[in-house]
Amino acid sequence: MRHPALDKRNPLGHDRSRPLMPEGSPMSRPDMPPYSAPTIEARWQAAWDEAGCFRAKADPEKPKYYVLEMFPYPSGRIHMGHVRNYTMGDVVARHRRATGHAVLHPMGWDAFGLPAENAAMASGGHPKDWTYANIADMRGQMKPLGFSIDWSREFATCDPEYYGQQQALFLDMLDADLVTRRAAVVNWDPVEMTVLANEQVVDGKGWRSGAEVERRELTQWFFKISDMAGDLLDALDGLDDWPAKVKLMQANWIGRSRGLELAFQMTEPAQGFDSIPVYTTRPDTLLGASFVAVSPDHPLAKALSAEDPSIAAYCEEARKGGTTEEAIETAEKTGIDTGLRVRHPLDDSWELPVWIANFILMDYGTGAIFGCPAHDGRDLDFARKYQLPVVSTFVPAQGEHVRPEEGADAFTPQKSEPVRYVKLFAGEEVQTSDQGVEAAVAQAEAEGWGKGVTRYRLRDWLLSRQRYWGCPIPVIHCADCGAVPVPRDQLPVELPEDVTFDRPGNPLDRHPTWGRAPCPQCGKEARRETDTMDTFVDSSWYYARFTAPQAVTPTEMDEAAYWMNVDQYIGGIEHAILHLLYSRFFARAMVKTGHLPASAREPFDALFTQGMVTHEIYQSRDENGRPVYHFPEEVEGGKLKDTGAPVEVISSAKMSKSKKNVVDPVGIVATYGADTARWFVLSDSPPERDVEWTASGAEAAYKHLSRVWRLAHEAASSQDKPNAVADTALERARHKIVHEVSQVIESFGFNAAIAKLYGFTNMLSKSDAGAGVKQKAARTLVQLMAPMTPHLSEELWTLLGGDGLCAQAPWPKADRAMLVEDSITLPIQVNGKRRGEIQVARDLAVAEIERLALEAVSRSLDGVAPKKVIVVPGRIVNVVA
């Protein structure tokens, strides 16, 4: 039989002119067939299908377990990152099934989005055809990997059955006052005729068209997520099984701040304004105020612009500022004096100038600030540029201090640090700034000139997109009745299929008939909403839909109550903020609208963020010195295979097509089999860290599986007689490995599980135990490997006389008594340095251990009497000399 590794197009870049395990080798006996992954993998996948092993069935007798990996975008090709993500979920799912849980492990497709429209524009097809074809391709690539997924629950978010329920959900959220519609400033690409997300604006230009992006005010739909900001922040505390890093990122994103809102009265009313409301987190520095500044988008600035061309010109210029990080960092702080003046709230005779400044944001706080240059770097830059006063309000509690008014940087210590107030109006002279702020707020409230407020950075979620390939917003706009919800019996509002992508803009907008609909309220001719929903909406509730994917309502309460919450969610750190925050919002919204039980308010009990799969990059230079990248299979021994030209090896990075450092899982599965791919992506690195794909590592994984294959066959055909010492040793090791692997799998230590299984394999191969004990050990080995290498394990399980399917066998249990060693090795230290060791009975008296220890290290002590002997039972002995 021709081994698959004979295929010279294998993706590892090794010219494999020989099979890895040829027949006729000493190890290959007539009764031992070679390890042929393709044969056994196909066979057992069929067997699992037939037995329906992975169908999720609610069972009141069992604890339930819902494991979910972030579902993929159907690009058409799976990559190693998918393999790693889904393998981790599969290990958890298989392990939980074996430990007696009713497991839900579903899969679906995050199928709406721009790439489908781009493909339609590029090649003239239809986004729907492109998407469903990709789904079929990817499913075809995924199934050979043998994931224990309940495929009967599969859906795509572009199925009308799914997005129709999403529309129903939207209408319920509208009724529950979770949705609103208002004007918003957006990035508008005048060539593409659509709104762009911030990340699609590069250097102020549209990423595709290259056209200068305009800031336009459009009426848009929003989810009122900011109403829940406080709860979304506070509830992070309860998410004990989420990475601290993710919780911190979310907390920063939500961005709670405590401060004071106060109004500066104008000396003379202007443009209908008699005061300027200001928000500050530093009311304790109010006596250091030197100016008031408003945003160029502030109503006052707009009103002044109408009168004064120089102000209008300044505001126009200030708004242009680039959106890139670099532009923001290097942008100079600029402003223009309005000539208006305001009174200081604590001193009627104190007047401050009012400026318009480019660094004030309209959509945070009130769009206006008071500047305190002594204690804010930005304000100090601004004050120095325009010769405004600098006045310190506090100095360090102790020590020397050069004040900002003497040329030093702005003094901005941590708010928890005590400082000495030199201009004080509330609280103690020496207090922390936190205390100073609270005292100032209390005083302002008592005296009635200000109000303490808690603010959030988190904005409402803009969900309107001027795109075709998304979920239509189920609303009809009537000239008389306004925005009217589509009646529920008319859902889903389906996307029309006869659309064209030959012109920019939204095809829904220019469709001849689709947009026309009678007003559901008055019956008059009206227009459909042609915006579709942000695709983040689709992925914000799919986890709930998996509990009843065919339901004619968004969810079914009893199914949702049984399966929710997701016990273990697994995905990339890149979704730490938006996707997870939106999902948390949606779960709350679904509780409020009666689609989820109250207990599912936080949908993901535990979250795991896995690292990427990386690979070295191979680079050479063309005649102009520009870098040229090469696929791994084009390189051998540091040289290009066809020309022999040397390549530069650049250190590992995330696999990407542009750098050509990609390894295709399909090729790996064809060459080595799914089990090898699964085993490799879990070995070597902790799951939360990146793992580097190497050809030698993949080959090593394959060799190991082949070795287990041989050992299992040897054990199965062994005629060796029992051997008391070896039998006991192996049996003890067997219980120990069961204990260890169970423990590390539960704590996501997949790489550690693999390392321990390597160790046990080494032990088994060297053991002189009798046939029966060896077979038992081998059977345990393959069972413990089964979550990682299910096909190989299934085949060997059967060979070794396992009962039924390994996939359905109960997880082995370790006998505690077998884990305890009778005799232990104690290292002996002298002054913390290891100088010897002793073998003692586990329960030997401390005094006796001390005696033996001193004896063992007498040479190192060199006659010196020990001052002290520290015995850590079962661990170590340290002699202090």
Partner RNA sequence: GCCGGUGUGGCGGAAUGGUAGACGCAGCGGAUUCAAAAUCCGCCGAGGCAACCCCUCGUGAAGGUUCGAGUCCUUUCACCGGCACCA
**Relative orientation angle of helices 695-717 and 771-785, to the nearest 10 degrees:** 150
Is residue 798 within 8 A of residue 788, CB to CB? The reply is: no
Kindly state the smallest distance separating residue 359's Cβ from RNA, in Å: 3
Altogether, the residues listed in the chain come to a count of 881
CB of 522 to RNA, least distance (A): 42
CA distance 520 to 474: 12
Query: Residue 379 carries which side chain, given as an amino acid letter?
Result: D
819 binds RNA (CB under 7 A): no
Kindly identify the residues of this chain, within the stretch 426-465, that bind RNA according to CB under 7 A: 455, 457
Q: Which one among 367, 373, 427, 470 touches RNA, defined by CB under 7 A?
A: 367
Q: Where are the beta strands (DSSP E) in 416-531?
A: 418-421, 430-432, 450-456, 461-462, 464-465, 475-478, 482-485, 516-518, 525-528
Site for RNA in 636-695 (CB under 7 A): 683-686, 689-692, 694
Q: Quote the CA–CA distance of 839 and 829 in Å, as a whole number.
A: 14
Q: Could you tell me which of 25, 5, 16 has the C-alpha nearest to residue 710?
A: 25
Q: How far is the CB of 367 from RNA (least distance, A)?
A: 5
Report the residue number, 414 or 513, with the smaller CB distance to RNA.
Answer: 414
Q: Minimal distance in Å, beta carbon 7 to RNA?
A: 16
In the chain the first and final C-alpha atoms are separated, in Å, by 69
At closest approach, how far in Å is the CB of 542 from RNA?
23
Distance separating alpha carbons of residues 70 and 86, to the nearest angstrom? 9
- 320: which residues sit within 8 A by CB, 6+ positions away? 204
Site for RNA in 401-420 (CB under 7 A): 414
Nearer Cβ to RNA, position 597 or 697?
697
Q: How far is the CB of 364 from RNA (least distance, A)?
A: 4
Of the residues 150, 189, 376, 438, which one makes contact with RNA according to CB under 7 A: 376
The answer to the question of residue 880 lying near RNA (CB under 7 A) is yes
Residue 868 sits in the site that holds RNA (CB under 7 A): yes
Residue 717 interacts with RNA (CB under 7 A): yes or no: no
Q: Which residues 237-296 are close enough to bind RNA by CB under 7 A?
A: 245, 248-249, 252-253, 255, 257, 259, 279-282, 295
Task: Report the site for RNA in 191-230 (rule: CB under 7 A).
Answer: none
What's the number of CA atoms in the CB half-sphere (13 Å) around residue 567?
Answer: 17
Smallest distance from RNA to CB 356, Å: 12
CB of 248 to RNA, least distance (A): 6
Q: Which of 229, 526, 596, 754 binds RNA (CB under 7 A)?
A: 754
Which region holds residue 828: left if phi is over 0, alpha if psi is between -120 and 50, else beta? beta
Among 152, 599, 765, 858, binds RNA (CB under 7 A): 765
Site residues for RNA, 821-850, by CB under 7 A, read 825, 827, 829, 831-837
Q: Which residue has the tokens 């040289």?
A: 639
And the tokens for 526?
A: 């009206």
Helix (H) or strand (E) holding 349: strand 347-357
Residues 391/374, Cβ–Cβ less than 8 Å: yes
Out of 141, 676, 706, 783, the only residue in the binding site for RNA (CB under 7 A) is 706
Q: Which of 766, 817, 823, 865 binds RNA (CB under 7 A)?
A: 766
CA distance 465 to 113: 10
DSSP string covering 352-372, please? EEEEEETT--TTSTTSEEEE-
User: In the window 108-167, what residues touch RNA (CB under 7 A)?
Assistant: none
Q: Which CB, 762 or 808, lies closer to RNA?
A: 762
How far apart are CB 421 and RNA at their closest, in Å?
A: 17
Helix (H) or strand (E) holding 347: strand 347-357
**Site string (485-504) toward RNA, x via CB under 7 A:** --------------------
Nearer to RNA, 255 or 505 (CB): 255
In the bound state with RNA, the residue whose beta carbon lies nearer, of 55 and 859, is: 859
Tell me if 293 sits within 8 A of 357, measured CB to CB: yes
CB of 688 to RNA, least distance (A): 9
Peptide bond into 565 cis (omega under 30): yes
Pairing between strand 64-69 and 635-636? unpaired
Of 624, 696, 823, 839, the residue at the interface with RNA (CB under 7 A) is 696
772 binds RNA (CB under 7 A): no
Query: Of 146 and 371, which CB lies nearer to RNA in the complex structure?
Result: 371
Window 23 to 82, contacts with RNA (CB under 7 A):
25-27
- Helix ranges, 366-421 (H): 377-385
Member of 5, 225, 236, 360 binding RNA (CB under 7 A):
360
d(CA 154, CA 756): 35
Contact 470, 112 (CB under 8 A): yes
Angle between helix 578-592 and 160-175 (nearest 10): 70
Per-residue CA distances from 738 to 100, 745, 757, 766, 816 (Å): 16, 11, 10, 19, 11
Among 700, 729, 818, 838, binds RNA (CB under 7 A): 700
Q: How far is the CB of 213 from RNA (least distance, A)?
A: 16
Nearer to RNA, 64 or 333 (CB): 333
Interface region with RNA, contact rule CB under 7 A, candidates 144-152, 545-553, 597-605, 703-711: 703-711
Residue 503 phi, psi dihedral angles, 5° rounding:
-125, 155
Residue 325 touches RNA, criterion: CB under 7 A: yes
* CB of 714 or CB of 795, closer to RNA: 714
Collapsing DSSP to helix, strand or coil, 651 comes out as strand
- Under the binding rule (CB under 7 A), the answer on residue 755 touching RNA is yes
* Residue list 552-581, contact with RNA (CB under 7 A): 573, 577
Instruction: Please tell me the count of residues contacting RNA according to CB under 7 A.
Output: 88
Report the C-alpha gap between 108 and 139 in whole angstroms: 10
- Write out the binding residues for RNA, residues 293-312 only, by CB under 7 A: 295
- Identify which of residues 43 and 834 has a Cβ nearer to RNA in the complex: 834
